[in-house]
A and B are shown apart, each in its own frame.
Chain A
Amino acid sequence: MSISYKKISQIIGPLVYLKNNHDVQYGEIVKIHINDGEVRTGEVIKMDEDVVMIEVFEETRGLSAENSEIFFSNDTFKVKISKDMLGGVFNSLGQPIDIHTRKVLSSDVLADVKRDINGSPINPFAREYPQDIIQTGLSVIDGLFTLVRGQKLPIFSGQGMPHNDLAAQIVTQAQVMKKEPFLIIFCGIGIIHDEAISFIDKFQKSGNIQNIVSFINFADDPVMERLMIPNVALTTAEYFAFEQNMHVLVVLIDMTNYAEALRELSAAKEEIPSRKGYPGHMYSDFARIFERSGMIKNHTGSITQIPILTMPNDDISHPIPDTTGYITDGQLVLDRDLNKKEIYPPFEILASISRLMKDAIGADTTRSDHADLSSQLISSYSNALDVRDLISIVGEDSLTMGERSLLRFADAFENKFLNQKINENRSFDETFKRAWEVLSKLPRNRLNRIHQKFIDKNYNRGV
């Protein structure tokens, strides 16, 4: 932190322009000192021989050409990381905060390392194909859409749906199957203060807080910080996964707020908008976040991501979920009708998929009948939904026996398998037991996707 510089020539939105007569680095971090003692941070995003353009992380309100002094740091943005972070709560810049007052704590992180938050891309050749699992304790995920270590599996939700409960439940319940070091990073993006307090409170009560590192960006924090926080969280995740050999699960909520911030900044920069005003580079921006997951050859750690987003107007073709689905390894979609029926978690089964599941489940990790079970549950439920539609055309009376059994199956599936309490943590065995229980509502010969040996062993058990 050396040279100071005074003359701001223009301020437009989050952007500050200076005359360039300083030896600036591209991407360099600047500190803006305002008369009243306040300090803001910015980054050099464009420069030529005349002008330097700086994007200010915090807001530019209150800045003027007169009252501000700019200091160049001679470096790009780096976050401090340390093993002491476990159990702590941090802001978008990686500083420890008090969740109730939002104030930065005086006890700054004693850094083990400092890392550039943009990271470097993982060498595709160095990637290990993910083939082991994480248990969430939720039947619908573990049973039908198993989460795989190294996967990025988003949840598409909507306003007013229980994604906060789901996020908290996953954070507090998730575990790896063998006794390997496991860490959860919770990254709140643009969430309101009450929600943030409630999250941290739940984490503390779970007794699991020592395995959780939380990063919180509040809804009224500056736009630029919203864009930084996922990368701050993921830089931290990379350190623990690939240098400390831990399995790290990162939950990001709500990516919709991140996208809104992107759009806002893009408009300020007068970029050419793509669909619905979102910038054309949103795909690359999302990808640079989501691709920071996976496994690396000769490393034992992993990064798994669950990004959660709210679909504007429940529209899955909206650019935010659409762009996400094009990058992630599947998606979990929440369904408003099931939510109205008070089924929790209200998963839209047919729209959801875990693309990496097929190579990761089975006798070695879960159970030998897992693949058959999940395929049968999904296909029978799909048939049952067709029957429900049929009732509205032909009426219930003209249904065949087979169709009636499908309806009974679907009710049982929704109530006994899907439905679960927000603090109910089910083991894989419990999930499979329930799966067989609801499948036993169907005649044996309708289980065409399950190998006979499994049917012989499990059908009608426990009913």
Chain B
Amino acid sequence: MTESNNNNIGFISGINGSLINIKGIETKVRLHDLIKVNKHNIIGEVIQIYSDFVVAQCFENTNNLKLKQKILYLDNPLSMELGPGLLSNVFDGIQRPLEKIFQEDETGFIERGIELPSLSREKKWKFTPLMEVNQIVSGGNVVGKVQETQSITHYIMVPPNINGKITYIVKEGEFAIDEEIYRISNGEVEKSYDMIQKWSTTRSRPFHKRLVPNEPLITGQRVIDLLFPIAKGGTVAVPGGFGTGKTVTQQAIAKWCDADVIVFVSCGERGNEVADVLRQFAELTDPRTNRPLLERIVLIANTSNMPVSARESSIFSGITIAEYYRDMGYHVALQADSTSRWAEALREISGLLEEMPAEGGYPAYLPSRLSSFYERAGIIETIGNDGKKNNNIGSLTVLGSVSPPAGDFSEPVTSNTKRFVQTFWALDAELAYQKHYPAINWLDSYSNYPQYIKNWWKTFNLNWDEINLNWQECRNMMNVILSSENELKNMTQLVGEENLPENQQLDLFTANLMKESILIQNAFDDTDNFTTPTKLLAMIQLILLLYKEGKQLLEEGFIIKDIKDLEIIAKIQRIKNSIPNEDIDEIERIKDKLLNEINSLRRSYRVIR
């Protein structure tokens, strides 16, 4: 950032909310470059350039600013500082370190004009070199590593677009992130590098090639993993009216999903929710590493009362950090709650600029901005792939909440988002009202990933003798039964359930059992909150076995009441919160008991006959 150069100084010529007009730098600024209001230390981003002035949106409020005040042109776009120290940390929408700010200002408020480096320059990291002098390297190659948290190794990579020969690299030792680590010469000039990379938030980081998704992101949420799965590198939208469960669902996934790194963006939402995430993630341990979950998460918190223009930046800040970990060969999940607040920030700024509004007052470029966000998801081969290591595949899964006004999915943000995502979890106010959580409506939701990931699931096999369906078959049967229930709904209301044919009553009964035992999942119950693939398959197969046997019984002349009265059913309903994930044997015992009860039903019937 060159501040001294006189050519880089302009002055304020107009103020309108968070927007300021600047004269004097219009000939050299590039769009999206940053400026600084000198006196108040406020950063802004240039968003329009005219022949005689430019318009910048400030990331903090503009009260007390005056015309003719000095503006510094910073000659750089908004960039993320990428390096060790991101994990377990909390940043605002423009990557200001919120924990550090609290240390500096213990009142707990964010005063305007605070300027601190995003990542600590004091902390020393133990760096272990993985390359030697004279090795030829290019962008993305790993030169060394740092144990960033006990769960995650941070690979120090050559920045994209750099290549040459290593002319110097430090020995293993303790370094701050801004100390020299290595040098690269391209034959003409030698350049020095530390552990920091800077990357503009609006450009996606390069990768070698995009791969076809083939593995699910296991979320531990039964309705998702079974009916509406998401692939690693996939995209999903979670729309729903207020209180339908977007945040709880996103948080549950952040806690339990099998990604390596989570970037959680709280965009224009509640401060109390950020406090909740911090508290829970510090207390909970990752089932896979037995370390606090906080060690694998980067939090971006630009709550609803924080400046709107920084809110607009927050999701792109988040995705840039996520891409950086993807480039190390990690599976990363980026969760944005809520993208609607981002879109509204876009709309507010567009309104101040008096741009021609399209639908709902949103600017006409809303769809293209949305796609530039979701398109950064994917499973990829990294540019750093040097054919030697096997961790050269990384993925970035993007999960965005959408908050449609009045829960109406036809509004612009929801309908445009739908165009760019492969999975859609439609949250339903009616289900939430009935306390059916997660309120994912199984008729309106969809996922395009089953065909890609079905082979992955084939490795899970319970080898039960009485029923042996794979994941795909379980899904199909479950869908058939649930849609049968839906078709029978009107009829039931008209004539009453007990007047339907017995086999239709069995469909209704089974569908209800599926809802209560599988679809409804309490995120706050210590056992129910997370279900492993094996337990999930056991649970669904058990119900499908009951269904199959039930059909058989009806054919043999038994009545639906005989089936409903089976004692084991209460046990089946409680598997979700009474049997831990590890205890598959216990589910198997329930299965055996089920078959026993059915057999004794048959025996007693024969006796009577």
Interface, chain A (partner B; CB < 8 A): 20, 23-28, 45-49, 76, 116, 118-130, 150-151, 242, 271-275, 280-281, 283-284, 287-288, 291-292, 294, 296-299, 317, 319, 322-323, 325-327, 329-331, 350-351, 353, 355-356, 358, 378-379, 382, 393-394
In chain A, what residue has the closest Cβ to B433? Answer: A350
Residues of A within 8 A of B101 (CB): 123, 125
A231 to B175, CA, bound (A): 47
In chain A, what residue has the closest Cβ to B23? Answer: A49
A120 to B108, CA, bound (A): 10
- Decide yes or no: A49 and B13 within 8 Å by CB, A118-B61, A325-B243 being known contacts: yes
In chain A, what residue has the closest Cβ to B341? Answer: A283
B67 CB within 8 Å of chain A = yes
Residues of A within 8 A of B3 (CB): none
In chain B, what residue has the closest Cβ to A150? Answer: B272
The answer to whether A48 touches B21, judged by C-beta atoms less than 8 angstroms apart, is yes
14 residue pairs bridging A and B, Cβ less than 8 Å apart: A24-B67, A26-B64, A47-B67, A121-B305, A122-B109, A122-B271, A122-B305, A123-B101, A123-B110, A150-B272, A275-B405, A294-B271, A317-B408, A356-B272
The answer to whether B272 touches A121, judged by C-beta atoms less than 8 angstroms apart, is no
The answer to whether A125 touches B90, judged by C-beta atoms less than 8 angstroms apart, is yes
In chain A, what residue has the closest Cβ to B99? Answer: A125
A382 to B15, CA, bound (A): 54
The answer to whether A126 touches B65, judged by C-beta atoms less than 8 angstroms apart, is no
The answer to whether A322 touches B304, judged by C-beta atoms less than 8 angstroms apart, is no
A204 to B270, CA, bound (A): 35
A138 to chain B, nearest CB (A): 21
The answer to whether B108 touches A297, judged by C-beta atoms less than 8 angstroms apart, is yes
B365 to chain A, nearest CB (A): 15
Contacting A at CB under 8 A, from B87-115, are 90, 92, 98-99, 101-102, 105-112
In chain A, what residue has the closest Cβ to B102? Answer: A126
The answer to whether B348 touches A281, judged by C-beta atoms less than 8 angstroms apart, is yes
A314 to chain B, nearest CB (A): 14
- Decide yes or no: A124 and B266 within 8 Å by CB, A47-B15, A294-B271 being known contacts: yes
In chain B, what residue has the closest Cβ to A327? Answer: B304
The contact of B305 among A274, A287, A298, by CB within 8 Å, is: A287
Residues of A within 8 A of B15 (CB): 26, 46-48
Interface, chain B (partner A; CB < 8 A): 13-17, 21, 61-67, 90, 92, 98-99, 101-102, 105-112, 241-243, 266, 268, 270-272, 274-276, 278-279, 301, 303-306, 308, 341, 344, 347-348, 351, 357, 360-361, 403, 405-408, 433-435, 493, 496, 524
The answer to whether A330 touches B243, judged by C-beta atoms less than 8 angstroms apart, is yes
In chain A, what residue has the closest Cβ to B276? Answer: A129
The answer to whether B306 touches A379, judged by C-beta atoms less than 8 angstroms apart, is no
| CB-CB nearest 4 A-B residue pairs | A287-B304, A48-B14, A126-B108, A296-B108
The answer to whether A358 touches B524, judged by C-beta atoms less than 8 angstroms apart, is yes
The contact of A124 among B241, B303, B361, B433, by CB within 8 Å, is: B303
The answer to whether A351 touches B433, judged by C-beta atoms less than 8 angstroms apart, is yes
The answer to whether A329 touches B270, judged by C-beta atoms less than 8 angstroms apart, is yes
Residues of B within 8 A of A323 (CB): 405
The contact of A27 among B64, B67, B408, by CB within 8 Å, is: B64
The answer to whether B102 touches A297, judged by C-beta atoms less than 8 angstroms apart, is yes
A255 to chain B, nearest CB (A): 15
The contact of B14 among A49, A378, A393, by CB within 8 Å, is: A49
Residues of B within 8 A of A291 (CB): 270-271, 303-305
The answer to whether B361 touches A273, judged by C-beta atoms less than 8 angstroms apart, is yes
The answer to whether B109 touches A123, judged by C-beta atoms less than 8 angstroms apart, is yes
The answer to whether A129 touches B98, judged by C-beta atoms less than 8 angstroms apart, is no
The answer to whether B351 touches A272, judged by C-beta atoms less than 8 angstroms apart, is yes
The answer to whether B102 touches A288, judged by C-beta atoms less than 8 angstroms apart, is no
A263 to B105, CA, bound (A): 36
The contact of B272 among A26, A119, A123, A294, by CB within 8 Å, is: A294
Residues of B within 8 A of A288 (CB): 304-305
Residues of B within 8 A of A274 (CB): 347, 360-361
In chain B, what residue has the closest Cβ to A448? Answer: B570
B594 to chain A, nearest CB (A): 21
A120 to B111, CA, bound (A): 6
The residue in B62, B276, B306, B524 that gathers the most chain A C-beta atoms within 10 A of its C-beta is: B306
